[in-house]
């Protein structure tokens, strides 16, 4: 076996891993990057996000958005003799988008003189790992191996009838019906996509509302919009029995005290993740895990073992790509000896769901404000207050701002509507600077823009909204 040494070894080339590797290289450190997947599995350069998650799914959701717009072409002054929607072409486009971006990551790795090793990494000790026939020694090691979809009892993923979002991204022949288990972001996004292409969608959620981690009013609005779109949403539901047939799956489920049974062509699971730690031989390095197998880290991404860091979904902190970005950069800067601020506040990081209407939130929900007995005020307005929403024929939804009643400091913001995910950054910056509701209200927003809904929501806190 050959041996090589690096200042930093990064295990996993997903969102957190490649950010960590590039930042370490920028800081003058020698970097070895390990990735076990060639892009045909669930990872690859760019990780799940670029290959089988964030990017290709948003490509498909754009197709769904355009398709829904074309449902009523006469409203836009269009007419078609014949209109066809080919789901296979949408899948092909999403794969092309993914390929283009992963090629960009390969270029960046080469540009930054990062040595790439393809294979599965296994710890020999806290400073040495084995990758195929190579032994790599690192002054520091960053674990960025991510996570994968979790199965449920009686719903073991077989990738044919019972699938995850990974397999859904390659379904070139649309099913007639699909059951989606779990109504968080992934479940809601795929429910919207499949429904747009005419699939009979049933969305099951064990909690009493859709997107259960969002503000309660957001959940109610999404459920109302999904109902209008023809998506069957079953909250407070419990899958009791599963029967796999030759070409379908029959689900028996309880819904508000009644029992039901329905047959589906496909069942898609979106019920959570499990960390990719089982193949790393972490015991050889003495790295501590929590009860769910996630790697325990402090605010500087340090594990309990000196010189070993962990970032991204494998930490279980907040499994979002943009969180992994920041964690990866932080870890490399800590290794390089830079004076940095650790990450301990995950509630003030943006959370986005890209169905239609889009959902974006940051900070606390109103339920959390009540639970914590905070003295808070609410400003809320419908999207219709922004003239542009009427102009683009997308005026569903609202913006809601929660602020401290005494200081005016923004505590949380929740948006459901057109381009909500593009607007949440404004609130994020304001919270980062400990800004107030008054500052959000007084800031001049361009007209006509959708972002005016945020300004009006802030103004409505004190009954000063002009258009509501």
Active site residues: 447
- Whether 462 and 383 have beta carbons less than 8 Å apart is answered as no
Q: Token pair for residue 435? A: 């800004």
Dist. CA 452–CA 388, nearest whole Å: 9
Closest CA to 438 of 466, 464, 467: 464
Dist. CA 43–CA 124, nearest whole Å: 23
Dist. CA 453–CA 449, nearest whole Å: 8
Cβ neighbour number for residue 4 with a 10 Å cutoff: 15
Cβ neighbour number for residue 264 with a 10 Å cutoff: 22
Q: Token pair for residue 108? A: 């960046």
- Whether 5 and 138 have beta carbons less than 8 Å apart is answered as yes
């Amino acid at each position: 076996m050959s041996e090589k040494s690096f200042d930093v070894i990064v295990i996993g080339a997903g969102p957190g891993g490649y950010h960590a590797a590039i930042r370490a290289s920028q800081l003058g450190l020698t970097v070895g990057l390990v990735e076990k997947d060639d892009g045909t599995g669930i990872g690859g350069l760019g990780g799940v996000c670029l290959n089988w998650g964030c990017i290709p799914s948003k490509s498909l959701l754009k197709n769904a958005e355009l398709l829904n717009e074309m449902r009523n072409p006469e409203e836009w002054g269009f007419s078609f003799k014949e209109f066809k929607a080919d789901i296979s072409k949408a899948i092909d486009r999403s794969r092309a988008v993914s390929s283009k971006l992963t090629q960009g990551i390969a270029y960046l790795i080469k540009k930054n003189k990062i040595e790439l090793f393809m294979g599965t990494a296994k710890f020999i000790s806290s400073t040495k790992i084995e990758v195929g026939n190579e032994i790599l020694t690192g002054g520091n090691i960053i674990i960025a191996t991510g996570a994968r979809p979790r199965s449920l009892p009686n719903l073991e993923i077989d990738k044919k009838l019972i699938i995850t979002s990974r397999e859904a991204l390659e379904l070139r022949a649309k099913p007639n019906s699909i059951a989606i288990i779990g109504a968080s972001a992934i479940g809601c996004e795929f429910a919207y996509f499949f429904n747009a292409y005419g699939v009979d969608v049933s969305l099951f959620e064990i909690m009493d509302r859709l997107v259960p981690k969002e503000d309660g009013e957001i959940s109610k609005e999404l459920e109302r919009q999904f109902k209008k779109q023809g998506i069957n949403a079953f909250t407070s539901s419990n899958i009791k029995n599963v029967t796999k047939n030759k070409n379908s799956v029959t689900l028996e489920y309880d819904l508000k005290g009644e029992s039901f049974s329905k047959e589906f062509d496909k069942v898609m699971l979106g019920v959570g993740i499990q960390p990719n730690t089982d193949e790393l031989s972490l015991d050889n390095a003495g790295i501590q895990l929590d009860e769910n197998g996630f790697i325990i880290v402090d605010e500087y991404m340090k594990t309990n073992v000196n010189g070993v860091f962990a970032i991204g979904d494998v930490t279980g902190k907040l499994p979002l790509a943009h969180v992994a970005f920041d964690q990866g950069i932080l870890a490399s800067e800590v290794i390089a000896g830079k004076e940095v601020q650790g990450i301990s506040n995950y509630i003030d990081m943006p959370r986005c769901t890209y169905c239609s209407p889009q959902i974006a939130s940051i900070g606390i929900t109103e339920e959390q404000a009540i639970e914590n007995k905070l003295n808070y005020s609410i400003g809320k307005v419908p999207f219709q207050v922004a003239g542009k929403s009427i102009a683009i024929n997308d005026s569903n939804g609202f913006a809601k701002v929660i602020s401290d009643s005494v200081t005016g400091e923004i505590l949380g913001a929740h948006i459901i509507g057109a381009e909500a995910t593009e607007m949440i950054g404004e609130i994020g910056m304001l919270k980062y600077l400990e800004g107030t509701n008054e500052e959000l209200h007084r800031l001049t927003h361009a007209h006509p823009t959708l972002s005016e809904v945020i300004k009006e929501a802030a103004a409505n806190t004190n009954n000063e909204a002009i258009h509501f």
